[in-house]
Structure 1
Amino acid sequence: MNIAIAGGTGFVGTALVDELIKAHHTVFILTRHPEKYHNQSRVHYIGWLYEGARPENALNNLDVVINLAGESLNSGRWTAKRKQKITESRLTATKEMNRILAACTHKPSVVINASAIGVYGVSDQLTFSETTESIGEDFLAQTVKLWEHEALRSKIYSNRVVLARFGLILDQQGGALPTMVLPYKLMAGGTIGRGTQWLSWIHIQDVIRGILFCIDQPKISGPVNFTSPEPTQMKPFGQMISSITHRPHWLPIPSFALKLALGEMSMLVLEGQRVQPTKLLHHHFSFSYPTLKQALTDLLT
């Protein structure tokens, strides 16, 4: 298949491209700086989001479109300027993707747009599935709602649209896990905040397998939660890191200290939501790492 990926050089995108190449697909990576990369037999770098760029000229025979583009939530303290950049980067990329799709004569079978479980809002008590109404009024929830609203406009140009609502993605090198493990390596690991906040996590390999699964399953559309079937709370999450790394879990990090250091961005670790991957399970997706012990053992040993 011919597959276009925006954000193909990022954390998830890099892992996804590797798997697509192994499966002998042809990949077109949309990037602001195509001159930094060398085209290969199955990977082509296409310029976009700069003046004069016309990526649609190279993208008229697409079977699948995947949009992973957006400013990292961990890119800095959430000042007003940073929040604007986080929101606008997602909306700008998604609007441009829709413009490209409108300019193409061939209709892709599916558009997969990245999203986040932050859309649901935060709660220690509720469990969220794809059919749950959002209770979120915070910055992240509102940003995701705007992002998804724009992404759903691509229904006009494709047979179906999947909103991939990512949870906390666990990987050896990218994402949040290396930062979370570091205190344990320094013998200073402990519970972050009150410890009861939920972490709805997923192993990077299950993210990639889940995306490929959604491509191949024509009945899957709309929101899809990319989380493991066994979310956990912050305290047992830390205790599992401690157990697997054989390092102590003893030095708590109080909420006020994180709020002082990170400001509003501290909600990424101090708040959470318990999310179930109901749609993936309904369609019989099999997780390679359904439990936290399996995932962390694979990543940390």
Structure 2
Amino acid sequence: MKILITGGSGLIGSNLIPILRPCNIAVYTRNVAMAEQILGHKIHFLSTLSHLSNLDDFDVVINLAGEPIAAQKWTDEQKHKIEQSRWSITKEIVALINAGENPPNLLISGSAIGFYGRQQDQIIDENFLPTHDEFSHHLCERWEFLANQAQSDKTRVCILRTGVVITKRGGAIQKMLLPFKLGLGGPIGDGTQYMSWIHLEDMLQGIAHLIANKSCEGIYNFTAPNPVTNQEFSRELASALSRPCLFRVPKFVLRMMMGEMADLVLYGQRVVPKRLEESGYKFIYPKISQALDCFRKKIK
């Protein structure tokens, strides 16, 4: 099987490649030298797609490319960068898929639970409406719309609405660790907002599950089946690090630091992976205490 991955040097892509071996892997990247440092030299790298007339040589395309959403404050310029880094490559990939006579069997394209926008404590599956009108929703709505243009009787499309990925290998949780390690961690705001998360291993195995199961198509929430409030998450993380959970981050402090981007953590969604579980996937880490066990110091 031949697989093309965009965003292959990112957290999910770089850890997905070993899972997909011995498939023939190609990675599209704007920075081949950096990607080679991360992924090694035994991968075929593409620095451009403009020389291709179609993607008929590939069986599966996995589209994970995009500017990190929480890297900088959301100025108008940064929002545009976040949008175009996702929309442009998705549009280009879909055009190449549709140009072929024997296109890839599957397009897996990224999205996020930000599609739903801020919600209260109602349980959200893939059919949930209404969404909340804000930047994260508009970003994901357009991203998903573009990816779905590849759907045909020859190509199935799976959309991944991903939550916070938990792993020691990097990602958003690394930004949360320092105050907790210093014993200064705690809930954000009142802590009642829900946090929908997924362990990296379930993220990777879930993608492999979609590839292997040809009946899978459409929207999939890539979140664990047990979302938790921010207060519960904070308590479990502090426990895993053997630290207290005494302090609370006021909303106004977070807004001063992050601006509009603070909404990502001040307001949450209680998202469940209904369709992924119905398709037969069994979670390795269904509970937050299990997922955070990787941060515990092992006593020999």
Shorter-chain TM-score above 0.5: yes
In structure 2, how many angstroms separate the alpha carbons of the residues matched to 1:74 and 1:54? 32
Partner of 1:25: 23
Matches within 5 A, 1:34-183: 34-36=32-34, 43-48=43-48, 53-56=50-53, 59-156=55-152, 158-183=154-179
In structure 1, how many angstroms separate the alpha carbons of the residues matched to 2:240 and 2:90? 40
In structure 2, how many angstroms separate the alpha carbons of the residues matched to 1:43 and 1:197? 42
1:13 aligns with 2:13: yes
Three-state SS of the structure 2 residue aligned to 1:189 is coil
Does structure 1 retain, via aligned residues, the 8 Å contact 2:109–2:159?
yes
Does structure 2 retain, via aligned residues, the 8 Å contact 1:8–1:29?
yes
Q: CA deviation at 1:55?
A: 4.1
What whole-Å deviation, never above 9, does each CA across 1:95-127 have from its counterpart, x for those lacking one?
111122234332211100001011112112221
Three-state SS of the structure 2 residue aligned to 1:111 is strand
* TM-score (normalised: structure 2): 0.93
Q: Closer, same or farther in 2 for the Cα pair 1:105/1:199, shift >3 Å? A: same
Partner of 2:250: 254
Q: Which amino acid aligns with 2:51?
A: R
Partner of 1:285: 281
* TM-score (normalised: structure 1): 0.93
Q: Closer, same or farther in 2 for the Cα pair 1:29/1:224, shift >3 Å? A: same
Q: CA deviation at 1:299?
A: 4.1
What whole-Å deviation, never above 9, does each CA across 1:25-45 have from its counterpart, x for those lacking one?
011101113355559786210
Percent identity between the two aligned chains: 36
1:195 aligns with 2:191: yes
In structure 1, how many angstroms separate the alpha carbons of the residues matched to 2:210 and 2:275? 10
1:228 aligns with 2:245: no
Q: Closer, same or farther in 2 for the Cα pair 1:248/1:276, shift >3 Å? A: same
What whole-Å deviation, never above 9, does each CA across 1:32-61 have from its counterpart, x for those lacking one?
133555597862101226xxx41457x532
Q: CA deviation at 1:17?
A: 1.1
Q: Runs of 5+ in structure 1 lacking a partner?
A: none
Aligned residues: CA RMSD: 1.8
Does structure 1 retain, via aligned residues, the 8 Å contact 2:29–2:35?
no
What whole-Å deviation, never above 9, does each CA across 1:251-299 have from its counterpart, x for those lacking one?
1110110011110000111111000100011112111101101100034
Three-state SS of the structure 2 residue aligned to 1:70 is coil
**Equivalences, count:** 295
Does structure 2 retain, via aligned residues, the 8 Å contact 1:107–1:157?
no
In structure 1, how many angstroms separate the alpha carbons of the residues matched to 2:147 and 2:269? 23
Q: CA deviation at 1:74?
A: 1.2
Q: Runs of 5+ in structure 2 lacking a partner?
A: none
Three-state SS of the structure 2 residue aligned to 1:154 is coil
Does structure 1 retain, via aligned residues, the 8 Å contact 2:32–2:47?
yes
Q: CA deviation at 1:193?
A: 1.4
Three-state SS of the structure 1 residue aligned to 2:86 is helix
